[in-house]
Amino acid sequence: MQNVIQFLKPYGIFIIPILVGIVIQLIKFVFYSIKYGWDIKYVMTHGHMPSAHTGFIISLVTSVGFYEGIHSGAFAIAVVFAVIVIDDAVRLRVILGDQGRYLNNLMQVLDIDKNKFPRLKERVGHRISEVLIGGILGFALTVFFMMILN
């Protein structure tokens, strides 16, 4: 085990966010399965609690800040990237969900064949609480994994 940790140590800036993203996606899968029942297709579901995108990007910002320093260009780029990803999770994908809901309602009113045009997913984005929990988990798990690697 010690050899694995020594091998991974130089790649922590890259590996930690990936591990954090996987762990948060698995947590989301468990919560989603408890609420809606077991189905393997839920492993890669979008939306819902917690936000794996936010957890991943906060982990990336945290690890870049730790390994490269908060005064580096890499950290500045990671922060800008985080703003874009979180904005997408909270605002832009919610608009996509609204469009899905409107199209589903339109299909129902027009009595369109559901086999030809399946129902669209209406919950693609995240609520603010899901993004906050994803960010907190992303930061906490990153610190945890950094303590293990260092």
Q: Are 79 and 61 in contact (CB under 8 A)?
A: yes
Q: Are 101 and 91 in contact (CB under 8 A)?
A: no
7-36: average pLDDT:
86
- Which tokens in the block code for residue 142? 């990153």
Q: Are 94 and 61 in contact (CB under 8 A)?
A: no
Chain segment 22-41, per-residue pLDDT in tens: 999 999 888 888 888 887 77
Map out the domains of the chain as residue ranges. Answer: 2-149
- Which tokens in the block code for residue 97? 């969900």
Q: How confident is the model at residue 4 (pLDDT cuts 50, 70, 90)?
A: low
Q: In percent, how much of the chain has pLDDT > 70?
A: 91
Mean confidence (pLDDT) of the chain = 85
58-87: average pLDDT:
94
Chain segment 43-58, per-residue pLDDT in tens: 777 777 788 889 999 9
